């Protein structure tokens, strides 16, 4: 089985993408196709290079997998159709969304939306990492307004079948450290500078001012240059290596995932596996991931967030919630489950 060749196309190498490559490599000879698609000036050159790369490798390939919808999915899906090779697109979030108010979502850009729509039609199947990426209603972002999102909403005539295969997290690495002392009143969130508004960084800063006795950590970014003065109890940790991040998960009592839109929430699951109590926004799959192990913010409102923080700090069920958080992820989102579901789908 390992001699069977497949083509894996990806624009980036997040941890969940690397996990998929490792999973597939156990059964197939994976030919990875990757270019720096963020460089828009070189995108035409990448399109040409990719065309010849896929043509060179498509003979003998069992199938093609594309991670994320985007320009890089155009040639693989079209050539897969022409050469009779099954082609699947793993959908992660931004490829199913359009929120122009915050500059988020591939589908807010007319040309990119057309390319995504064409690729989704040409594909043999779509593999979203959560149900909400097919279609969802967002009432969290703007009070009194419902935002429709998801590829079924933006492409209502799309007939390509889809199968939800959730992401999987390595629970053997992300786990509580019995030697680490968890600090009371500590809150952690993980995202990049470009995601500051998308992930609710502004809300967290507003809340921090009202809880001077607590500590609020931002991992994944240094202090944004455009940020006004912030409270003394806010700390920017920069980009952390996995071991460093695990240490902060184990030091922190609570974890924020206050996204306006979220395809899945891998960092949320990592934090929960390490025993953090989650505080999430009521969007996409986040409340379902959390279950009864944490708190859900129903609207993008700083006052509502402060009320939840007060409730969380006053709760006497903290140890129970920490155990529930890890159990919640273990029961549904392990790496072994992702491997089983993905490989069984491809075998069939």
Pick the CATH number of 5-167+335-347 from 3.40.50.2000, 3.40.5.90, 1.10.760.10, 3.20.20.140: 3.40.50.2000
Provide the edge-to-edge strand list for the sheet that holds 295-297.
Answer: 234-238, 215-219, 186-190, 254-257, 277-281, 295-297
Q: For 48-62, 237-251, 314-328, which range has the lowest pLDDT when averaged over its residues?
A: 314-328
Report whether 312 contacts 254 (CB < 8 A). yes
pTM to 2 decimals? 0.94
pLDDT digits (tens, 9 = 90+) for 314-335: 987 788 999 999 999 999 999 9
Domain residue spans in the chain?
Answer: 5-167+335-347, 186-330
The domain made up of 186-330 has a fold known as Rossmann fold (3.40.50)
Token code pair at residue 86: 């099954």
At residue 69, the pLDDT reads 97
pLDDT digits (tens, 9 = 90+) for 103-129: 999 999 999 999 999 999 999 999 999
**Measured torsion, CA atoms of residues 289, 151, 258, 183, in degrees rounded to the nearest 10:** 40
């Amino acid at each position: 089985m390992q001699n069977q060749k497949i083509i894996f196309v990806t624009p980036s190498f997040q941890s969940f993408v690397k996990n998929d490559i490792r999973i597939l490599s156990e059964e197939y000879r994976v030919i990875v196709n990757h270019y720096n698609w963020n460089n828009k000036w070189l995108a035409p050159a990448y399109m040409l290079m990719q065309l010849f790369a896929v043509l060179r490798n498509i003979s003998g390939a069992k199938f093609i997998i594309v991670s994320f919808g985007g320009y890089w999915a155009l040639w693989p899906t079209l050539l897969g159709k022409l050469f009779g090779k099954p082609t699947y697109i793993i959908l992660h979030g931004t490829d199913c969304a359009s929120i122009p108010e915050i500059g988020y979502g591939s589908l807010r850009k007319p040309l990119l939306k057309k390319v995504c729509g064409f690729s989704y039609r040409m594909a043999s199947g779509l593999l979203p990492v959560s149900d909400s990426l097919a279609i969802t209603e967002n009432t969290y972002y703007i009070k009194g307004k419902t935002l429709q999102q998801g590829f079924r909403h933006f492409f209502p005539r799309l007939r390509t079948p889809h199968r939800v295969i959730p992401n999987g997290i390595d629970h053997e690495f992300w786990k509580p450290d019995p030697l680490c002392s968890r600090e009371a009143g500590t809150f952690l969130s993980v995202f990049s500078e470009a995601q500051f508004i998308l992930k609710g960084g502004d809300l967290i800063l507003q809340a921090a001012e009202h809880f001077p006795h607590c500590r609020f950590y931002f991992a994944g970014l240094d202090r944004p240059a455009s940020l006004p003065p912030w409270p003394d109890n806010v700390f920017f940790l920069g980009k952390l290596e996995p071991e460093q991040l695990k240490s902060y998960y184990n030091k922190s009592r609570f974890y924020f995932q206050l996204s306006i839109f979220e395809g899945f929430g891998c960092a949320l699951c990592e934090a929960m596996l390490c025993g953090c109590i989650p505080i999430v926004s009521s969007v996409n799959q986040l409340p379902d991931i959390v279950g009864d192990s944490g708190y859900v913010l129903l609207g993008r409102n700083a006052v509502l967030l402060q009320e939840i923080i007060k409730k969380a700090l006053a709760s006497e069920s903290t140890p129970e919630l920490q155990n529930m958080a890890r159990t919640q992820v273990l029961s549904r989102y392990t790496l072994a489950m992702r491997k089983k579901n993905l490989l069984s789908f491809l075998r069939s």
